Chains A and B, each alone.
Chain A
Amino acid sequence: MPAPSFPKYFGRVFGGRDGKSVPPPDKGDFKLIPGNELPSQMDAWWWLVGAVVLLIALLMIFKPDPYLKIVRFVSDGLWITILLTVISFVFILIVGIIGGLGRIAKNPVIHFLATIYVECVRGIPLLVQLIWWYFAAPVAIQSFGKWINFAPMAEYRSNAFVLAVVGLVVCYGAYMSEIFRAGIQSIHKGQIEAARSQGMTYMQAMRYVILPQAIRVVLPPVGNEFIMLIKDTSLVSAVAMADLTRRGREYMSAHMNPIETWTMVALLYLILTLFFTRVLVWLEKNRGYEK
């Protein structure tokens, strides 16, 4: 997966990813406990969001041709990008929790399967995975369907959106599994012992004691994944999805104005990532336990 480096000023909340290992989330630095950050410093970044919105608005008002036209043309792509990100992310969280639990499972079969999944997926570029799901998977499903003589599979018609979601979820799920594994392991083992010594089952202890604590720990890296995902959905434009990037390309080839088109597309991505970064910072700020 490409790991574009993130601008430095996001560093406080969203550390970069080296593409290999996820740094264990650190509970010790009180990142999650509100109150050690000047409120003015936190809120100042909303100005940046506002400034970009204003810039886009001014461009559209004072130069409607081409900017307003571009925005109108790509707006359905923008919607696809948001939808793809949000839907994928819900499933990514589910896969991440299951994968994370699998990675720490005592059962050797589960542990082995989870590890194979994570290691293999992380070794293949996201673009290649997306292309595989779009072009290879449907053929594989059809051949398999013919082989076992199962009509619904043999006549499988691919759905670009579903396959794009599958591709993103499989890939990001692996990274998310590692984040959850590290988060769960960062919780002191005395916690699970205390829970189990009161007769809770392993699943109850996870659900009521370990995961609520782990989620607070993993919130920053999980937020980072979300921002990365917004940007990485642009790769689905390679597999026939009419997302923001693809709509931008279509507009550009029709009107031959690359500077205006790609500047606007870039600004639209920027506004998405800036906005969600702010939302995540706000979420993080409101999740400490020592009220």
Chain B
Amino acid sequence: MTEAPIIQIQDVHKYFGRVHALRGITLNINAGEVVVILGPSGSGKSTLLRCINHLEVYNTGKIIVDNILLKSAQNINTVRREVGMVFQQFNLFPHLTVLDNVTLAQKIVRKRDPAEAKKIALDLLKKVGIEHKFDCYPGQLSGGQQQRVAIARALAMNPKIMLFDEPTSALDPEMIKEVLDVMLALAKEGMTMVVVSHEMGFARAAASRAIFMDEGQIIEQGPPEQLFSAPTQERTKLFLSKVLQI
């Protein structure tokens, strides 16, 4: 029996008022796949990612995550706890310590008892290399450290899928690597990941597939090596030449 893809997106359209942000996206992602999405600013990458965990509500089409059709309000929270998300701006809770950031949703969504939640949190903080900062507040950490805490916070819910929206683009160059290393380790463990990022190195090392988006559509996709070195579409070539110049 072949398993159905863990994320199935069928002909999804999304409008923001008059802006047609997604124009018929169809995409299947299998469990264990690492998919990198790239494309120019405003091409709809974030919107697509946010539709997967229903932070944005799509207008037409279908998104099925882990065999649950995202449409009705009841099952959204069920899906969301299976889907972790990491944001460009980290979005840690500034009024809580690092430890509380990682245990909060475990306690109130997963209903774990505090001791268990704490143990899981400390293990994850160790994994992302930041366990010694557990009782700091986010404001006392560097950007790279905050983003690693944010990854730990998402992982604490035992998600089946992790979404990353430009996780390194708000970071200083010397901190990018520490975050990418954590993501790379996660990919090696077999986590299903959808990553919006222009980090070619990461895509080459970790991704099974790279997707190029423009103007709300998927223009081209393939193994990263192939997409980067031999793009078939004009728009992909143009975009890559710009990105690679930098």
Interface residues of A (CB under 8 A from B): 188, 190-191, 193-201, 204, 208-209, 212-213, 216, 289-291
Q: How far is the CB of B90 from chain A (nearest CB, A)?
A: 8
Q: Answer yes or no: B14 CB below 8 A from chain A CBs.
A: no
Complex A-B: 5 CB contacts under 8 Å? A198-B104, A198-B153, A213-B94, A289-B139, A290-B139
Q: Which residues of A contact B153 (CB under 8 A)?
A: 198
Closest-by-CB residue of A relative to B100 is: A208
Interface string of B56-94 (1 = CB under 8 A from A): 000000000000000000000110110111010101111
Q: Which residues of A contact B53 (CB under 8 A)?
A: 197
Q: Which residues of A contact B108 (CB under 8 A)?
A: 200, 204, 208
CB atoms of B137 and A191 under 8 A apart = no
Give the CA-CA distance A198 to B96 in the complex, in Å: 16
CB atoms of B84 and A212 under 8 A apart = no
CB atoms of B94 and A289 under 8 A apart = yes
Q: Answer yes or no: B105 CB below 8 A from chain A CBs.
A: yes
Which of B85, B89, B93 contacts A209, CB < 8 Å? Answer: B93
Q: Which residues of B contact A199 (CB under 8 A)?
A: 77-78, 80-81, 105, 109, 157
A290-B137 CB under 8 A given contacts A198-B154, A216-B95: yes
Q: Answer yes or no: B140 CB below 8 A from chain A CBs.
A: yes
Interface residues on chain B, number (Cβ under 8 Å): 27
CB atoms of B137 and A194 under 8 A apart = no
Q: Which residues of B contact A194 (CB under 8 A)?
A: 85, 87, 91-93, 150
Other than the given A190-B87, A191-B93, A209-B104, 7 more pairs (CB < 8 A) read A197-B55, A197-B154, A198-B154, A200-B108, A213-B93, A216-B95, A289-B95
Which of A190, A191, A198 contacts B109, CB < 8 Å? Answer: A198
Q: How far is the CB of B235 from chain A (nearest CB, A)?
A: 30
Which of B80, B89, B95, B140 contacts A197, CB < 8 Å? Answer: B80
CB atoms of A291 and B137 under 8 A apart = yes
Q: Which residues of A contact B78 (CB under 8 A)?
A: 199
CB atoms of A213 and B105 under 8 A apart = no
Q: Which residues of B contact A213 (CB under 8 A)?
A: 93-95
Give the CA-CA distance A208 to B101 in the complex, in Å: 11
Closest-by-CB residue of B relative to A191 is: B91
Closest-by-CB residue of B relative to A197 is: B85
CB atoms of A290 and B140 under 8 A apart = yes
CB atoms of B87 and A193 under 8 A apart = yes
Give the CA-CA distance A213 to B157 in the complex, in Å: 23
Q: How far is the CB of A137 from chain B (nearest CB, A)?
A: 39
Q: Which residues of B contact A200 (CB under 8 A)?
A: 77, 105, 108-109
Q: Which residues of B contact A198 (CB under 8 A)?
A: 80-81, 84, 104-105, 109, 153-154, 157
Q: How far is the CB of B3 from chain A (nearest CB, A)?
A: 24
Give the CA-CA distance A204 to B93 in the complex, in Å: 14
CB atoms of A193 and B91 under 8 A apart = yes
Give the CA-CA distance A191 to B91 in the complex, in Å: 6
Q: Which residues of B contact A197 (CB under 8 A)?
A: 53, 55, 80, 83-85, 154
CB atoms of B94 and A201 under 8 A apart = no
Q: Which residues of A contact B105 (CB under 8 A)?
A: 195, 198-200
